[in-house]
Structure formats: C-alpha cells, structure tokens
C-alpha cells in the first residue's frame, strides 16, 4: 500500500542536480508532495528532504536509483514513525483582526503559534508543526481573513542514531585491482 | 595514430584556448577518432581539430544521430570510449536517440556539444537549446562548461565516469565563450569521484552464500548479459560454467561473450530467444544471473518467472538488484572480480541429466522452427538461411551489427560467434537506424575484423545517409539488407494480435542498389536461392564496402515467440 514516505538525499550542491533528483521521480510518475533543500551537518554536503506517497518496495527502488546518480552520495527513505518532522507555516492577517480583546489572540496562544511581526496594516503569525496542526490553525484563522499563507516543505530528522558520516565511510571502493 | 602529444618540433604552450584544451583532453584520454558534424557553436573546436588532424581522425557523419550510433559501434567493437561532437541546438537534439540508446545499453560514450555563449544562455539565442535539461534523464552524467578553466577537470571526470562502473553516456556542453577563452592547461586523469562508487566492495558472506547455493543446486542455470563483456570476464565466466557444469544462456547483449558452439552455451533468452533457455527458467532450482538486468523482453510476465528458483544476481549496478526479480543472494560488484572469487568456492560438477533437458528442447525447436528457417528448399529465401550462409563463410569470426526488427532477432538467433565483442545491436532501446552507422563505427574500432551490417528495409532508410561516410572515409563495411518490403516485426504482431490489419507497415521501397551505387558502393540484389552462396562469398571477398540486398519472404514470422504479457514457459514454437 502506498504510504507517506520521506526521502533524504545527500549530495554536493551542483547546478543541474535538482533536475537529476526530480527526474528520478517524474520518470516513475511519482508526485513530489514537498521538497526542501538545505545544508546538512557535513560541510559541502547538501540535503534534499522529499515527501512522496509510494509503497515501501517502490521506495527501495527509488532510493537505489537516486544513489546510482553520480553526484548523489547517499539516499534514505523513512516511514513517518522513523522520523521527527515539522513544517513551518506563515499567516498574514489584517492588523484590525488582531486588536486587543480579539479572540484571535486566544487562537494563536492555544496553537502555540507566535506573532512573528506586527506591522501597521498586518500581523504575521508563525506556526511550526505537522501538516495537520498548521492546517487546523489555517481553518481557525480563515474566518478573520488570511491575506497570505505559505507553508514550507517538510524537514525531518531521523530517529536512528547512525550518523551520515558513518554511512559515507562505509562507501568503500573495492581494493582489488 | 594514438600518439599523446604534439610532435617534438616545439614545446606546446600551456596557456591555450578552451578549444585547444578540448582537443588535448581528448588526446590525453586516448581518443584518436571522433564522429561528428560541425556548426556555429562548436566551430572553435573544429578549428583545433583541423590543426590536430594528424592525431585525431574526425569522421564526418551525415546526421548527428549517425555520430552517436557510430560512436556506440566503435565503443562496443573496441572496448574503448566512443566520442562524438556536434553543435548546439539541432545538432545536440539530434544526438538524443543515440544517447538514450547508449544509456540503456550501458555503452561508454562522451558527447561534446557546442553551446551559445554564456551571456546568451536562456535568451532563446540562435540554435540555443537546453541541452542539459534534455539530456539529464538519459545520461550517466552531464556538465555544462561555461569557463575555459573548467575544461580539463570536466573532461577527465567525463571519461572516467563514462567507462567505469556500469558504463554509460556523458554529455559535455561547452559554451562558445569557454571555447574562445584562455586557460593554463594542465591535465590529470580522474581516478575517483567522491560521490560515486565505481567498484563496489564485494561481500565475503554473500560470496559464500552464493557458492553454497550453487553447490547444493541440482538444476543450476546461468543467465549472462553484457556485463560479462564490459568487465572482460569472458574467461572467468567460462571457468565457472565449466567447473560447475552449469548450462548458460545469453541475453541479446551477452551474445559473443562465450563461443556459440561451447557445449554449455544453451542459447538465447528472451521473447524470440531459444526454446530451452526460456522454458528451463521455470525448471531450474538455482538461477545465477550475471551482468544482466532482467529486461522485460527477457522475463516476460514477472509473476510467471522463475518463482521456484533461488536467485543469485551478480551485477555492478546496485539499482538493478531486486528491481524486477527478487534476489536471494546479491553479489554487487564487477563481474570479472566476483567470478574470479566465486569459482574457487564452487564444487566441480556436471549436471548431465539437467543438460539433457535443454537438448530435448533443442530438438523440438529444430524440428518446428530452425529447419524451416535455416534450410528451406522452396519459396522465397528466409532471413535464417542468409545468416546461416554468412556463418559458413565467416566461421563465426565476423562482427555482426544489426538494426532493429525481425532481421535483428533472426541474426541474433542464428549468427555464430567465436570472439567476444562480436555482436553489436540496439537491445534496450530498439533503435531503428542503429545498424548502418553502428557498423561503420564498429569497423573503425576493429579495422582488422570483418564487419557485417545486417539490416532491414525499414531501419536502413532511417540512417541511409550514412552511406556517405562509407564513401568519404572508405570504411569497408559489408551491408546485408534483408528486404521483405514490410516493417516486418510490426507486421508480425499485426498478423498475430491485430487480425492481420497491416496498418502502415507495407513499404514501397526505392531502388537500394542505385542508392548504394550513387555512393560508389559495389551493390547487388538477389532473389534466387541459387545465387545466395556465391553472392555472400563475393561480398566478403570484395576489397571494399559492399551492399547486398536479399529479397526474402514478405510475411515470414520470427519464432519461437513469448507473446507480450505471457510467461516465458508459454513460449510459442509456431
């Protein structure tokens, strides 16, 4: 059965690499639900975090196909229970909706969201959490008028204690010949 | 021709243009032959090729697709990296089919494309196209050079990646400013790429597990592919096969990795392969797949493929393990290396009664298919009898290059081989038009060998312009056109699966003999069986290229056949 799977791809940061990464998905008609690129804990190694809906068997094949790419160092896939993951959402609300005594303040508080910026005409609220939590806040803010909304792709940290550098050190080339 | 530096008359300066650096990089990588077609965005490099023409022979093709297939043929007959070069835009896009073909058939190839100057990138400039974007999905690696200083490192990396691990095509796109720009040239061969494992470490446990499985097997069966040829593991394969007494079948790209007449070579796998090799897939108890990727044309319906067998898969590309067929023991590594470690661990055996099963199948196939195909006495000539006749004259010593279609299947079924790297065909992509240019490249890659292009009347017309290369470069290729005036393989499917509705498969053909003669190629057309033997003999004895058109039965079919979607055991003999 297809399930939500998070794929972590580690590579050097090079022009054209994102295209190589994404073609591994598109040629298999796998829709990318979210994609985040960032640095990793190792200098010079870049990390893509990609969320897809596929079967574990397909995830295995996909990860091997990704690792086969010359510029990709290592790829992993995780079920949701194997990772700690978050997204960040920003909501732009009219200033008047936030005036003293507004029930909105209670909503923000209850969601453990924070007021990021208060401007003359608008306020920006920030919420970090899983998709359901940011969506729930969206629904509660909606009656007050959301001027602009944005949500990042997923970022995820794996639960297993093995570090990337240990995996990389295992990528030994045969000493024969 | 493969001298690596310019003549000693003057020490070459190392402060040179990018375009000169391109040529010197090619020389460093041992390239003495390049297939290509000039144009605006690659002219600076062509200017250097002119100056270095004593060291690099440029073969002017007639269409860039021909350059890729010729480079493929060259790579596969010589075991070296094939090189080709084209201009930007249409020059580059015309390479696409050959790049895709090289990718799926693991052929080492470096393609150089010119590109508009850096400051015009993305401006829809004349003959600008997004070569990187187009070729990324069909290359092993690609890089766009926009500064002259990048050239040496990128070329070194490109050749290393193209030929190491599982080989494949690499594209280097070079903007025109980088060709004109200057650099301080220094070349270092690439031996490692940090993010890329070209030779995986071999698991000792897996080796022992594989050996234990083989030693316990009653009906072991080896399926081998091009990986054996690419890693030059022919002797190692033979040692394993002979020591353990295991029948071995080749995939279409594995052809010639063993001698055809080796007693343990049981024939070809696949949709139009031999009967025994297909049927026995579902009889064996241990399957040892070596340097092959379980293509769907080999496996048929995967749900009916070797479900009873334990599977050992020896493959350098980790992504192939468990991709199509679930593996019990994966031996990820270079075939030569792994086989040399595995064979000492296996026991000597003969498995005679198991061999006998294959031989029984061979008798059935001979009676139902081969006798009629290769020894007909009446009616139009058959493709099989032409191939058989070629065997009788070449004794399996020739390189057979095919196009794609019925003639390809017949040639691959019946051609005999006594040397490795002797079968060159478009296996994975099935590219019509491959044959003629690939044969030209194959001949240039192995000039001392007889090279015979077996082509059909459909495919040859897709790249027939490359006869111009034979004319201009004097390549002594023998072309055997098996003309059935149909796109025969599609027609066969229409006959069998579409109630004989021959949609767009009948060909009204030109006078091929006149075309060949227009290119000053000796040509002959025969339609009488009585003329076959002498014509083949004359063709082979002719000192130069030759074009022999043989009229064959219009509606003959290739059998056996595993119908699309069927299991390999459901192979039809008629």
Is B284 within 8 Å of B213 (Cβ atoms)? no
pLDDT in tens, A48-67: 999 999 999 999 999 999 99
CA distances from B332 to A60, A62, A72 (A): 16, 17, 18
In this structure, the answer to whether residues A70 and A15 fall within a common structural domain is yes
Residue-level pLDDT at A168: 76
In this structure, the answer to whether residues A91 and A65 fall within a common structural domain is no
Tell me which chain B residue has its CA closest to the CA of residue A58.
B323
* Share above pLDDT 70 across residues of chain B, in percent, rounded to a whole number: 98
pLDDT at residue B502 is higher than 90? yes
Tell me which chain A residue has its CA closest to the CA of residue B196.
A70
In this structure, the answer to whether residues A95 and A117 fall within a common structural domain is yes
CATH number at residue B153: 3.40.50.970
Q: How many CB atoms lie within 10 A of CB B218?
A: 11
Out of B161, B319, B321, the one facing A70 most closely (by C-beta) is B161
In this structure, the answer to whether residues B221 and B309 fall within a common structural domain is yes
Is B524 within 8 Å of B549 (Cβ atoms)? yes
pLDDT at residue A172 is higher than 60? no
Interchain contact B322–A (C-beta under 8 A) = yes
In this structure, the answer to whether residues B39 and B119 fall within a common structural domain is yes
CATH number at residue B298: 3.40.50.1220
Interchain contact B202–A (C-beta under 8 A) = yes
Contact A173 B137 (CB under 8 A): no
Q: Which two tokens stand for residue B511?
A: 């006078």
In this structure, the answer to whether residues A57 and A25 fall within a common structural domain is yes
Say what the pTM is.
Answer: 0.95
Interchain contact B334–A (C-beta under 8 A) = yes
Contact B193 A23 (CB under 8 A): no
In this structure, the answer to whether residues A22 and A76 fall within a common structural domain is yes
Tell whether omega for the bond before B200 is within 30 degrees of 0, i.e. cis.
Answer: no
Instruction: Give the mean model confidence (pLDDT) for residues B284-292.
Output: 98
pLDDT at residue B42 is higher than 90? yes
pLDDT at residue A170 is higher than 80? no
In this structure, the answer to whether residues B311 and B222 fall within a common structural domain is yes
Closest CA–CA distance from residue A29 to any residue of chain B (Å): 14
pLDDT at residue B65 is higher than 90? yes
In this structure, the answer to whether residues A63 and A110 fall within a common structural domain is no
In this structure, the answer to whether residues B386 and B248 fall within a common structural domain is no
Closest CA–CA distance from residue B116 to any residue of chain A (Å): 18
In this structure, the answer to whether residues B162 and B27 fall within a common structural domain is yes
Out of A15, A27, A174, the one facing B337 most closely (by C-beta) is A174
The helix (H) or strand (E) run that includes residue A167 is helix A164-170
Residue numbers of B annotated as active site: 64, 126-127, 176, 489
In this structure, the answer to whether residues A59 and A107 fall within a common structural domain is no
In this structure, the answer to whether residues B272 and B308 fall within a common structural domain is yes
Residue B525, classed as helix, strand or coil, is strand
Q: Residue A61: list chain B partners with CB under 8 A.
A: 319, 322-323
Q: Residue A13: list chain B partners with CB under 8 A.
A: none
Does any domain span residue B21? yes
> How many domains does one find in chain B?
3
Does any domain span residue A12? yes
Cβ-in-10-Å burial (0-12, 13-18, 19+) of A107 comes to middle
Q: Give the separation between CA B479 and CA B467, rounded to whole angstroms.
A: 10
Choose from A18, A164, A171, A176 for mutation: most chain B CBs within 10 A: A176
Out of B193, B197, B322, the one facing A60 most closely (by C-beta) is B322
Q: Give residue A171's pLDDT band: very low, low, confident or very high (50, 70, 90).
A: low
Q: Residue B137: list chain A partners with CB under 8 A.
A: 23, 27
Helix axis angle, B96-104 to B64-78, nearest 10°: 30
Interchain contact B204–A (C-beta under 8 A) = no
Residue-level pLDDT at B5: 52
Residue-level pLDDT at A167: 79
Q: Give residue B1's pLDDT band: very low, low, confident or very high (50, 70, 90).
A: very low
Interchain contact B363–A (C-beta under 8 A) = no
Interface size between A and B, measured as CB pairs under 8 A: 65
Does any domain span residue A24? yes
Does any domain span residue A73? yes
Q: Residue A65: list chain B partners with CB under 8 A.
A: 319
- For chain A, which residues lie within 8 Å of any Cβ of chain B, measuring from their own Cβ? 11-12, 15-16, 19-20, 23, 27, 60-61, 64-65, 67-68, 70-73, 171-177
Tell me which chain A residue has its CA closest to the CA of residue B198.
A173
Contact A64 B318 (CB under 8 A): yes
pLDDT in tens, B367-404: 999 999 999 999 999 999 999 999 999 999 999 999 99
Residue-level pLDDT at A22: 94
pLDDT in tens, B451-481: 999 999 999 999 999 999 999 999 999 999 9
Contact A67 B319 (CB under 8 A): yes
pLDDT in tens, B543-554: 999 999 999 999
In this structure, the answer to whether residues A66 and A77 fall within a common structural domain is yes
Contact A172 B201 (CB under 8 A): yes
Instruction: Give the mean model confidence (pLDDT) for residues B309-313.
Output: 98
Q: Residue A175: list chain B partners with CB under 8 A.
A: 201
Residue-level pLDDT at A97: 87
Q: What is the overall mean pLDDT for chain B? A: 96
In this structure, the answer to whether residues A71 and A122 fall within a common structural domain is no
Give the residue, A141 or A14, on which the prediction is more confident: A141
In this structure, the answer to whether residues A101 and A143 fall within a common structural domain is yes
CA angle B369, B370, B376 (to 5 degrees): 100
Choose from B154, B319, B337, B341 for mutation: most chain A CBs within 10 A: B319
Q: How many CB atoms lie within 10 A of CB B413?
A: 26
Does any domain span residue B573? no
Q: How many CB atoms lie within 10 A of CB A28?
A: 13
Out of B136, B321, B333, the one facing A20 most closely (by C-beta) is B136
In this structure, the answer to whether residues B210 and B77 fall within a common structural domain is no
Residue-level pLDDT at A175: 36
pLDDT at residue A146 is higher than 90? yes
Q: Residue A12: list chain B partners with CB under 8 A.
A: 194-195
Instruction: Say yes or no: ipTM exceeds 0.85.
Output: yes
- Boundaries of domain holding A66: 3-83+155-160
pLDDT at residue B182 is higher than 70? yes
In this structure, the answer to whether residues A44 and A58 fall within a common structural domain is yes
pLDDT at residue A160 is higher than 90? no
CATH number at residue A139: 3.30.70.1150
Residue-level pLDDT at B3: 47
Contact B140 A11 (CB under 8 A): no
Name the pairing type of β-strands B182-184 and B15-17.
antiparallel
Is B567 within 8 Å of B302 (Cβ atoms)? no
Interchain contact B130–A (C-beta under 8 A) = no
Residue B331, classed as helix, strand or coil, is strand
In this structure, the answer to whether residues B257 and B151 fall within a common structural domain is no
pLDDT at residue A74 is higher than 50? yes
Q: Which two tokens stand for residue B404?
A: 């794609």
> How many domains does one find in chain A?
2
Which one of B292, B327, B358 terminates a domain?
B358
- Boundaries of domain holding B476: 381-551
Is B416 within 8 Å of B441 (Cβ atoms)? no
* Share above pLDDT 90 across residues of chain B, in percent, rounded to a whole number: 96
Out of B137, B201, B319, the one facing A64 most closely (by C-beta) is B319
Is B326 within 8 Å of A61 (Cβ atoms)? no
Cβ-in-10-Å burial (0-12, 13-18, 19+) of B54 comes to exposed
Q: Residue A16: list chain B partners with CB under 8 A.
A: 132, 136, 142-144
B 432-461 residues with CB < 8 A to A: none
Is B477 within 8 Å of B542 (Cβ atoms)? no
pLDDT in tens, A88-99: 999 999 998 888
Is B292 within 8 Å of B325 (Cβ atoms)? no
Residue-level pLDDT at A173: 45
Is B254 within 8 Å of B358 (Cβ atoms)? no
In this structure, the answer to whether residues A75 and A15 fall within a common structural domain is yes
pLDDT in tens, B404-458: 999 999 999 999 999 999 999 999 999 999 999 999 999 999 999 999 999 999 9
Out of A16, A61, A176, the one facing B136 most closely (by C-beta) is A16
DSSP B146-157: -SGGGHHHHHHH
């Amino acid at each position: 059965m297809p399930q939500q799977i998070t794929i972590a791809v580690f590579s050097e940061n090079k022009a054209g690499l994102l295209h190589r990464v994404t073609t591994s998905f598109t040629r298999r008609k796998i829709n990318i639900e979210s994609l985040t690129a960032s640095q990793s804990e190792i200098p010079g190694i870049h990390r893509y975090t990609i969320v897809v809906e596929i079967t574990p068997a397909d995830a295995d094949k996909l990860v091997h196909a990704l690792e086969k790419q010359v510029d990709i160092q290592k790829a992993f896939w995780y079920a949701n229970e194997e990772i700690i993951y978050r997204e960040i959402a920003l909501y732009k609300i009219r200033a008047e909706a936030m005036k003293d005594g507004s029930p909105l303040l209670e909503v923000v508080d209850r969601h453990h969201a924070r007021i990021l910026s208060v401007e003359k005409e608008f306020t920006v609220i920030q919420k970090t959490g899983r998709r359901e939590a940011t969506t729930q806040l969206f629904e509660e803010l909606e009656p007050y008028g959301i001027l602009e909304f944005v949500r990042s792709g997923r970022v995820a940290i794996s639960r297993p204690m093995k570090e990337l550098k240990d995996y990389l050190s295992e990528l030994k080339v045969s000493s024969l010949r | 021709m493969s001298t690596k530096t310019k003549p000693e008359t003057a020490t070459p300066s190392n402060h040179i243009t990018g375009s000169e650096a391109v040529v010197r990089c090619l020389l460093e990588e041992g390239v003495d032959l390049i297939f290509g077609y000039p144009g605006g965005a690659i002219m600076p490099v062509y200017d250097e090729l002119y100056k270095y023409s004593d060291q690099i022979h440029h073969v002017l093709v007639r269409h860039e697709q021909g350059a890729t297939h010729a480079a493929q043929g060259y790579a596969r007959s010589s075991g070296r990296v094939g090189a080709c070069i084209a201009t930007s835009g249409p020059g580059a896009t015309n390479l696409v089919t050959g790049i895709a073909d090289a990718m799926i058939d693991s052929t080492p190839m470096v393609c150089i494309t010119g590109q508009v100057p850096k400051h015009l990138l993305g401006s829809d400039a004349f003959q600008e196209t997004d070569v990187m974007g187009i070729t990324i999905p069909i290359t092993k690696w690609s890089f766009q050079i926009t500064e002259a200083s990048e050239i040496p490192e990128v070329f070194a990396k490109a050749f290393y990646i193209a030929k190491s691990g599982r080989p494949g095509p690499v594209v280097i796109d070079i903007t025109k400013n980088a060709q004109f720009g200057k650099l301080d040239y220094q070349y270092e061969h690439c031996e490692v790429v940090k993010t890329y494992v070209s030779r995986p470490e071999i698991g000792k446990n897996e080796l022992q597990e594989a050996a234990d499985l083989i030693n316990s097997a009653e009906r072991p069966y080896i399926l081998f592919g091009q990986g054996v040829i690419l890693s030059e593991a022919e002797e190692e394969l033979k040692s394993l096969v002979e020591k353990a007494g295991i029948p071995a079948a080749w995939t279409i790209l594995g052809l010639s990795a063993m001698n055809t007449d080796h007693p343990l070579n049981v024939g070809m796998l696949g949709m139009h392969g031999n009967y025994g090799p297909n049927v026995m897939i579902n009889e064996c108890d241990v399957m040892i797949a070596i340097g092959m990727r379980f293509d769907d044309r080999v496996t048929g319906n995967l749900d009916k493929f070797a479900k009873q067998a334990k599977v050992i898969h020896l493959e350098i590309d980790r992504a192939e393990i468990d991709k199509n067929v679930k593996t019990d023991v994966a031996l990820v590594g270079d075939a030569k290396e792994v086989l040399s470690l595995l064979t000492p661990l296996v026991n000597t055996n003969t498995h005679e009664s198991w061999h006998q099963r294959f031989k029984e199948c061979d008798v059935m196939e001979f009676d139902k298919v081969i006798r009629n195909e290769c020894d007909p006495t009446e009616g139009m000539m058959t493709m099989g009898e032409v191939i058989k006749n070629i065997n009788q004259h070449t004794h399996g010593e020739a390189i057979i290059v095919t196009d794609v279609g019925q003639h390809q299947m017949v040639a691959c079924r019946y051609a005999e081989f006594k040397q490795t790297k002797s079968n060159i065909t478009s296996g994975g992509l099935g590219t019509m038009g491959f044959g003629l240019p690939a044969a030209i490249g194959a001949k240039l890659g192995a000039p001392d060998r007889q090279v015979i292009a077996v082509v059909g009347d459909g495919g040859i017309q897709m790249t027939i312009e490359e006869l111009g290369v034979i004319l201009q470069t004097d390549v002594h290729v023998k072309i055997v056109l098996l003309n059935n005036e149909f796109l025969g393989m599609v027609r066969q499917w229409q006959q069998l699966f579409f109630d004989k509705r021959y949609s767009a498969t009948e060909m009204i053909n030109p006078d091929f003999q006149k075309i060949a003669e227009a290119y000053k190629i000796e040509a002959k057309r025969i339609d009488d069986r009585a003329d076959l033997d002498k014509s083949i003999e004359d063709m082979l004895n002719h000192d130069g290229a030759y074009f022999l058109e043989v009229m064959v039965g219009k509606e003959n079919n290739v059998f056996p056949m595993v119908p699309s979607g069927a299991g390999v055991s459901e192979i039809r003999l008629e």
